[in-house]
Amino acid sequence: MTIAEDNWNLIKKFTNLTLEDIEKQFVQIFPDLANKIIDDIYGSAYRRKHISMKTRHLITIGIISAMGGCENQLQFQLKAALSLGITPEEIREAFIQVAVFAGNARAINSATIFHSILTEEKINND
């Protein structure tokens, strides 16, 4: 898999995954799809300047939470948000919006995943 250097530099801001990790997770499944997704996200959407990266991640967390069935992607985005300095309180507020507009079950599922991440990473969970 060939990830453009500028896309790879952006990915490294969000995760401690190595290129090898990403290749194991995505390329083995469908290399062309993996390249398309990386180009769409990191080569296009995340490079837009009209909203902050923080806002972009909170929106992404809200959308993925509302969709449901995207637990792996939600976990990745939650960890990325924390690594960008988005606070647990800000992320929890996104779940409030999810509860109002997508339903309590979606919000509870997302909050449960988030709680597991905070516990695993030993981040204050108050």
Please report, as a single letter, which amino acid is at residue 100: V
CA distance 122 to 124: 7
Condensed to tens digits (0 to 9), the pLDDT of residues 13-72 reads 777 777 677 777 776 777 788 778 788 887 788 888 999 989 999 999 999 999 999 999
Question: Which residues, 6 or more positions from 38, have their beta carbon under 8 angstroms from its beta carbon?
Answer: 3, 7, 11
Condensed to tens digits (0 to 9), the pLDDT of residues 57-104 reads 999 999 999 999 999 999 989 999 999 999 999 999 999 999 999 999
Question: Which residues, 6 or more positions from 64, have their beta carbon under 8 angstroms from its beta carbon?
Answer: 70, 73, 74, 77, 110
Question: What's this model's pTM, rounded to 2 decimal places?
Answer: 0.82
Q: What domains appear along the chain, each with residue ranges and CATH number?
A: 1-48 (no CATH), 51-126 (1.20.1290.10)
CB 84 within 8 A of CB 53: yes
